[in-house]
């Protein structure tokens, strides 16, 4: 059993959706393109799962957040794919790939042949068992990577109203889930080993603002320790957690956000790897010229910082996917990808954006007791990064423009005094 396609996108997440739209814009013919995804639904905006999807009232639901609404482009419902002659092969896992034969084998026993392959398999949540703790399969232990995880989390929140949740991890997922749990009237204790939340991006001062805000909403922070074991009742439900510092916490539910790993195993030994992902050039072509890699799994050159990185954020998934399709369909008109890293998050009434690189000296600015503040990063005398909470559209446009220019900064005090006006004035 087998089918042939000119173009195959492996994975049906954010990057797949944006790639499909770009293929359609470039005039792909009916029957030339397919998307293979082990998820049962057409590509959707994954960030919605930890935000609108978890709201207690008027939550976001499909088809409302199919790609590409997140970038204010067309919304690609399953019908859209049919109308454009793009085959969606859903609920189908690819279990092996042969890059020499240009074939993918699915769990249903079908062999799919491609001329060009775009790998967009994203990442998976790290499981408790990978850090030596049992309990992932318990009915009240939740992760958050895909729609089925989010649905389980919503169901658990409904069953635990007024109860206690432990959130393991102080990164993006932990912070956004903690806010959603509180909004769903659940008491939250966040446990993480670092001395402050969002340790890979925030400075201690920025983190302290968010922690105080969360505390004012009732969240408890238990820092500098981690989970030692979960405690179960006779039905296999988690009832509490032992921490490494000897504390015990009662729990009606647990949310685990301890990191993600790129889904690259199908291609190990067949393609070149870098930074734990598939190494690509500035057109997203891997070491095999018929295979492109985009989104969370791609390790790509970042010209601005003369570096290669994997970026596990939605903006990179959208832009890398579009660029790869352009490179495949119109190779003569493509320029080298020139990416400015951009991350954002929203929780409660808070909303921040970060552009560039968080290396070098930090200069905080703005009103940390109010609603608008941020930080600049200056490395080797140049402005390389900026974080801003509570900005308006024009602030963020100015930040993106100026960070890309990496201006020389002679006086750090000026950055502090002027705050976001520094970039707005450039």
DSSP letter for 28, please: P
Assign 294 to helix, strand or coil: coil
The interface with ligand FAD within residues 322-351 (CB under 6 A) comprises 343-345
112 binds ligand FAD (CB under 6 A): no
* CB 264 within 8 Å of CB 272: no
366 binds ligand FAD per the rule CB under 6 A: no
Under the criterion CB under 6 A, does residue 94 sit at the interface with ligand FAD?
A: yes
Give the range of 127-135, 143-151, 191-199, 399-407 binding ligand FAD by CB under 6 A: 143-151
How far is residue 84 from each of residues 20, 27, 67, 133, measured CA to CA in Å? 10, 9, 15, 46
Q: Give the one residue of 253, 317, 325, 403 binding ligand FAD; rule: CB under 6 A.
A: 317
List, in sequence order, the alpha helices (H) in 84-217. Answer: 147-159, 172-183, 204-216
Give yes or no for residue 15 binding ligand FAD (CB under 6 A).
yes
DSSP secondary structure code for residue 265 in this structure: G
Phi, psi dihedral angles at 81 (to 5 degrees): -65, -40
Q: Which stretch binds ligand FAD (CB under 6 A): 73-81, 201-209, 312-320, 364-372?
A: 312-320
Instruction: Give the span between the Cα atoms of 423 and 396, in whole angstroms.
Output: 9
> What are the tokens at 79?
């019908």
For residues 296 and 395, which CB has a smaller minimum distance to ligand FAD in the complex? Answer: 296
Query: From the list 122, 170, 385, 391, which residue makes contact with ligand FAD (rule: CB under 6 A)?
Result: 122
3-state secondary structure of 7: strand
Output 37 or 286, the one with its CB closest to ligand FAD.
37
Instruction: CB nearer to ligand FAD: give 51 or 365.
Output: 51
Question: For 126, which DSSP code?
Answer: P
Q: Does 263 bind ligand FAD (CB under 6 A)?
A: yes
> Residue with CB nearest ligand FAD?
13
Q: Does 49 bind ligand FAD (CB under 6 A)?
A: yes
Q: How many CA atoms lie within 13 A of 384 on its CB side?
A: 16
CA atoms within 13 A on the CB side of 270: 17
Instruction: Count CB-CB contacts under 10 A for residue 269.
Output: 7
Q: Which one among 50, 67, 180, 189 touches ligand FAD, defined by CB under 6 A?
A: 50
- Decide if residue 93 touches ligand FAD (CB under 6 A): yes
Instruction: Measure the CA–CA gap between 352 and 235, rounded to whole angstroms.
Output: 42
Among the residue ranges 5-13, 199-207, 276-284, 379-387, the one whose residues contact ligand FAD (CB under 6 A):
5-13
Are 52 and 118 contacting, i.e. CB atoms less than 8 angstroms apart? no
By CB under 6 A, is residue 271 in contact with ligand FAD?
Answer: no
Q: How far is the CB of 414 from ligand FAD (least distance, A)?
A: 30
Nearer to ligand FAD, 146 or 389 (CB): 146
Euclidean distance between the first and final Cα of the chain, in Å?
A: 60
Distances (CA, A) of 395 to 176, 263, 355, 426: 23, 36, 12, 12
Angle between the 314-329 and 14-25 helix axes, to the nearest 10 degrees? 30
Near ligand FAD by CB under 6 A, which window of 63-71, 235-243, 313-321, 396-404?
313-321
CB of 252 to ligand FAD, least distance (A): 21
Q: Which stretch binds ligand FAD (CB under 6 A): 20-28, 185-193, 310-318, 378-386?
A: 310-318
The closest alpha carbon to 176, from 373, 317, 314, 19, belongs to 314
Residue 124 has φ and ψ, to the nearest 5°, of -125, 160
The correct pick among 22, 211, 312, 389 for binding ligand FAD (CB under 6 A) is 312
Question: Going residue by residue from 197 to 226, which x/- string records binding to ligand FAD, judged by CB under 6 A?
Answer: ------------------------------
Single residue of 22, 24, 37, 387 touching ligand FAD by CB under 6 A: 37
Q: Residue 25 to residues 22, 74, 170, 243, 401: CA-CA distances in angstroms?
A: 5, 11, 40, 53, 27
By CB under 6 A, residue 295 contacts ligand FAD: yes
CB of 250 to ligand FAD, least distance (A): 26
Scanning the structure block, which residue is given the tokens 């799919």?
A: 112
Taking the complex as a whole, the smallest distance from the CB of residue 172 to ligand FAD amounts, in Å, to 6
Strand order in the sheet with 342-347: 342-347, 350-356, 382-389, 373-379, 361-366
We find the least distance from the C-beta atom of residue 345 to ligand FAD, in angstroms, to be 5
Is 258 a binding residue for ligand FAD by CB under 6 A? The answer is: no
Q: How far is the CB of 163 from ligand FAD (least distance, A)?
A: 22
How many residues touch ligand FAD under the rule CB under 6 A: the total is: 36
User: For binding to ligand FAD (CB under 6 A), which residues are involved?
Assistant: 11-16, 36-39, 46-47, 49-50, 93-94, 120-123, 144-146, 173, 263, 266, 295-296, 312-315, 317, 343-345
């Amino acid at each position: 059993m087998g089918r042939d396609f000119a173009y195959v996108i492996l994975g049906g997440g954010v990057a797949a959706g944006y790639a499909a739209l770009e293929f359609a814009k470039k005039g792909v013919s009916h029957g030339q393109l397919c998307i293979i995804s082990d998820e049962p639904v057409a590509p959707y905006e994954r960030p919605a799962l930890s935000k609108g999807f978890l709201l207690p009232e008027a939550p976001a639901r499909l088809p409302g957040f199919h790609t590409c609404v997140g970038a204010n482009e067309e919304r690609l419902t399953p019908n859209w794919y049919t109308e454009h002659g793009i085959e969606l092969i859903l609920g189908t896992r690819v279990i092996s790939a042969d890059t020499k034969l240009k074939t993918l084998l699915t769990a249903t026993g079908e062999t799919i042949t491609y001329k060009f392959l775009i790998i967009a398999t994203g990442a998976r949540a790290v499981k408790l068992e990978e850090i030596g703790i049992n309990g992932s399969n318990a009915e009240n232990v939740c992760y958050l990577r895909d729609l089925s995880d989010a649905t389980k989390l919503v169901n658990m929140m409904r069953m635990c109203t007024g109860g206690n949740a432990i959130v393991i991890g102080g990164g993006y997922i932990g912070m956004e889930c903690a806010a959603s749990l509180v909004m769903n009237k659940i008491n939250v204790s966040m446990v993480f080993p670092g001395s402050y939340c969002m340790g890979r991006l925030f400075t201690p001062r920025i983190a302290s603002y968010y922690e105080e805000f969360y505390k004012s909403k009732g969240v408890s922070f238990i820092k500098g320790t981690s989970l030692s074991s979960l405690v179960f009742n006779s039905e296999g439900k988690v009832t509490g957690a032992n921490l490494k510092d000897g504390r015990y916490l009662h729990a009606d539910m647990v949310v685990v956000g301890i990191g993600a790993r790129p889904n690259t195993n199908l291609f190990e030994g067949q393609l070149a790897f870098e930074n734990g992902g598939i190494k690509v050039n500035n057109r997203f072509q891997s070491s095999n010229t018929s295979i492109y890699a985009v989104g969370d799994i791609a390790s790509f050159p970042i010209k601005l910082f003369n570096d290669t990185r994997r970026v596990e954020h939605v903006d990179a998934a959208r832009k890398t996917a579009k660029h790869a399709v352009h490179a495949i369909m119109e190779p003569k008109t493509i320029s080298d990808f020139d990416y400015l890293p951009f991350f954002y998050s929203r929780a409660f009434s808070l909303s921040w954006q970060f552009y560039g690189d968080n290396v070098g000296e930090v200069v905080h600015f703005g009103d940390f007791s109010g609603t608008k503040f941020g930080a600049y990063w200056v490395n080797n005398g140049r402005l390389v990064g900026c974080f801003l909470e509570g900005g308006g559209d024009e602030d963020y446009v100015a930040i993106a423009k100026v960070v890309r220019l990496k201006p020389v900064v002679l006086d750090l005090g000026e950055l502090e005094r002027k705050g976001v006006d520094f970039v707005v004035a450039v």
